Amino acid sequence: MAKTSTTTQGLRAAIERSGYYPALVAEAVEAAVGGEPIRSYLVHQETTFDQNEVRRHVTVLVLTGNRFIVSHTDEQAADSTSPTPYATTSTESVKLGRISSIVVSRVVANPESYKPGTLPREIVLTIGWGAVSRIDLEPAACGDPNCEADHGYTGNSTADDLSLRVSEAGDGPETVRQALDFAQALSEATADPTR
């Protein structure tokens, strides 16, 4: 899909609907996108509880013809570094060829009566491009229960750059559909062998 005023306006409207510092978020996202056509986008706001504080966070994902752009905006309470509350916005631009994995985990109710096309109750979208990896290690062992030798360690390395949970109950069915559409568009874009 070429960047049209409709696509740009849709992204801007989604950012404004989130109600989360829309001018700040939109400026950061638009600067990262530049003049590239927008193929797909997803705006996801999340509220978390941190001890006695409520914190909001918004993630904006944008797919262009050549890049995957991630924008995060967090708010912080006043602290020793700032006498007033503040927000931090960051954007990361990833070439599509660097994306190594896209995982979509779907949670469906009553799977025995599932009908194709029914929205999942929730999805978790995990995207890896090698910027962040998680290593889980544990001591290795052999089959001998009396063995006291050191067998080193065994474990797994998992690409875990971005993980986003979207649920029908918390975000609404339209956001779940948008997340699935975005995941499909990103998957199709990274399947292109020329990237």
Residue type, 122: E
Q: Which residues of the chain have pLDDT under 50?
A: 1-4
The reported pLDDT for the residue numbered 158 is: 60
The reported pLDDT for the residue numbered 152 is: 81
Q: Where are the alpha helices (DSSP H) in 138-172?
A: 168-171
Quote the strand ranges of the chain, DSSP E. 38-50, 53-64, 67-76, 86-95, 101-107, 122-128, 133-139, 153-159, 162-167
Are 79 and 28 in contact by the 8 Å Cβ rule? The answer is no
The reported pLDDT for the residue numbered 2 is: 39
72/90 Cα distance (integer angstroms)? 5
The reported pLDDT for the residue numbered 79 is: 83
Helix (H) or strand (E) holding 159: strand 153-159
> Which residues have a Cβ under 8 Å from the Cβ of 108 and sit 6 or more positions away?
114, 118, 120, 121
Phi, psi of 54 (to 5 degrees): -105, 125
Helix (H) or strand (E) holding 181: helix 173-190
- What is the average pLDDT score of the chain? 87
The reported pLDDT for the residue numbered 156 is: 67
151/148 Cα distance (integer angstroms)? 9
Instruction: Give the three-state DSSP class for 145.
Output: coil
167/121 Cα distance (integer angstroms)? 6
Closest alpha carbon to 122 in 163, 164, 165, 167: 167
The reported pLDDT for the residue numbered 6 is: 58
